[in-house]
Structure 1
């Protein structure tokens, strides 16, 4: 018989009313599963717990979306969840982690979604993150989702179509959601790969001009992706090694496959980060080379312009006695000298690729 929290434990020190309409407004779905099949009808979370206690078999799966403190407190009262769990579930923004409170496992998963865009050069965001928090105990699973992506309805449908998996109890739901989240990591990294490739092609294209801010933007998104994904490695290993009845041995085997997929994702993210680091160094080097080229070009034109400026300055000093002032061909000779010198400088600079 599932060791669900007793009626007295759920009541706590003070009497609580039946689940309010406010609490139920955060409920996406609530179902009772017995022998791998969903019982017909609809239940509030309190009614679902009572049904499982009455039958002495099965488990409850309650799905919540972005509950506030009051809603989560009512749910926690029904399932006898620790107050620290409630605080984490309400405020979100947690790192992936696995904690155990008596007979309840608390798993935090960060979800990621790819934001479609036309070009990496014209967008500011490519990855959106959210959270899924799972409370798993004897006879129940409570999933709390923050964010508008990574819905769990498809996960529930796939499990309901496979009664053999659901017969394994709450641990099967825990595995299915973790597997779903890690598979979404694979999809996102697959979608990000062309963005990295496009940026790499743009950086190494001849005579291309790329804003370093574009690389910084993509690197920032990869850092955000890494923070969501990489810390999950330790919780998955803990689930693989978890002793006791909370995660049966036959379910722990499946978590090894999830951990393998997670390792693949982590390796991809590390490769992205390394590639973007190289691209950033390359882009900065290209900017430096371009600046040096521009400075040489500017210096060459300044040198060419200095010749007529200097000669005109000398003969513009307005002294009464200066050579060639009274010479009939002096003006033309000076112009010829200016043209000759500037032409020679232009040819020299052009030959040395300064112009």
Structure 2
């Protein structure tokens, strides 16, 4: 596909010369653009430029390579939650398809791999285990990373607070041999970081499930139903992020534009994803019996409480019944005229209550 070149006379807000984002400490940065970082990579080495347009010119004009070698570099532009204007400007330069651009702007896409002419569009879900409030438990939050991969460029679009790509970029820049493989090396680095995030979150969820399981079968009575339901919801979030990514990664390893060396690394990422997917599925299967066991314990505990209440009710019925009979005020009743009748009735009440108490204790009701 013939790629659109950047014309020197072009004046677009996204490509105006500005100080680089990483030149200012993170705590002092002002979010006035979606562009987080950009660079031209020639022969595996980073070349900083004043603007994205300059990076594109360096790569496509081949100014840093010998004429007989041609342009062997690529441009990597990283964006975070871009506006439609910013991403549309990039689309005009790199020849991005409008449908893919629309997906990257609005996000909320399933993991997928699509091809538009010579540009491949990959969508991945990012996950993070965060604590929204100090008084609340941790929850799984999701985001998205979209990758536009062309012959001489790669554009990464990130939505959400998770899946920061700065560490992946620095790690990749420390390996020039890998960078020489082109934009697909970036695709692998991003996919590897996303799957590593899955591993961290699944390990954290495993710890929470172990804690819930211990609490459910502990001798002390605790109400873990709400926590179990929350964990089931987190597992569902993980399944939605992890499960659908297996197909796109498998398709990516079979594409001809991916070098064999990168395919090996992608297969390793796919293996890690398979392990995570199996873990998440096992979590869902494990939480169901834990919930059933908890509900069974709650039912048993309620039955025990009811038996205790019933036993004590039966014991207190004896003096109530006797007192009710002798409170009817008839003239001719047994032992009403006897001097020791009152003490005899109290003795009968005490003996009957004690007998019932011992019987209930022997049967485990008290």
TM-score after normalising by structure 2: 0.87
Cα offset for 1:126?
Answer: 3.1
Contact 1:300 1:349 in 2 (8 A): yes
Structure 2 partner of 1:18: 12
CA distance in 2, matches of 1:236, 1:40: 31
CA distance in 1, matches of 2:45, 2:214: 52
Contact 2:111 2:244 in 1 (8 A): yes
Match status 1:52 vs 2:50: no
Structure 2 partner of 1:97: 112
Structure 1 partner of 2:179: 166
CA distance in 1, matches of 2:131, 2:175: 33
2:38 counterpart (30, 48, 53):
30
Match status 1:224 vs 2:237: yes
Aligned pairs for 1:90-169 (under 5 A) are: 90-115=105-130, 123-169=136-182
Which structure's relative contact order is higher, taking Cα pairs within 8 Å and 6+ residues apart? 1
CA distance in 1, matches of 2:220, 2:260: 59
Structure 1 partner of 2:3: 5
CA distance in 1, matches of 2:2, 2:338: 116
Q: Deviations over 1:14-59 (max 9, x none)?
A: x984234799711001111111111133322x33223222115111
CA distance in 1, matches of 2:227, 2:37: 42
Q: Which runs of 5+ in 1 are unaligned?
A: none
Aligned pairs for 1:122-271 (under 5 A) are: 123-242=136-255, 244-245=256-257, 247-271=258-282
- Structure 1 SS opposite 2:115: strand
- Structure 2 SS opposite 1:250: helix
Cα offset for 1:250?
Answer: 2.9
The alpha-carbon distance between structure 1 residues 159 and 47, as it changes in their structure 2 partners (threshold 3 A), is same
Contact 2:129 2:140 in 1 (8 A): yes
Contact 2:48 2:55 in 1 (8 A): no
Structure 2 partner of 1:319: 330
Aligned pairs for 1:68-107 (under 5 A) are: 68-107=83-122
The alpha-carbon distance between structure 1 residues 343 and 16, as it changes in their structure 2 partners (threshold 3 A), is farther
Structure 1 partner of 2:313: 302
The alpha-carbon distance between structure 1 residues 88 and 104, as it changes in their structure 2 partners (threshold 3 A), is same
Cα offset for 1:4?
Answer: 5.8
Cα offset for 1:206?
Answer: 2.1
Cα offset for 1:192?
Answer: 2.5
- Structure 2 SS opposite 1:178: helix
CA distance in 2, matches of 1:65, 1:155: 15
- Structure 2 SS opposite 1:141: strand
2:296 counterpart (278, 285, 290):
285
CA distance in 2, matches of 1:301, 1:77: 82
Contact 2:44 2:177 in 1 (8 A): yes
Contact 2:111 2:123 in 1 (8 A): yes
Contact 2:107 2:144 in 1 (8 A): yes
TM-score after normalising by structure 1: 0.90
Structure 1 partner of 2:342: 331
Q: Which moved more, 1:132-141 or 1:209-218?
A: 209-218
Q: Which runs of 5+ in 2 are unaligned?
A: 19-30, 63-69
Q: Deviations over 1:55-108 (max 9, x none)?
A: 151111000011122222222222221111122111112111111111111111
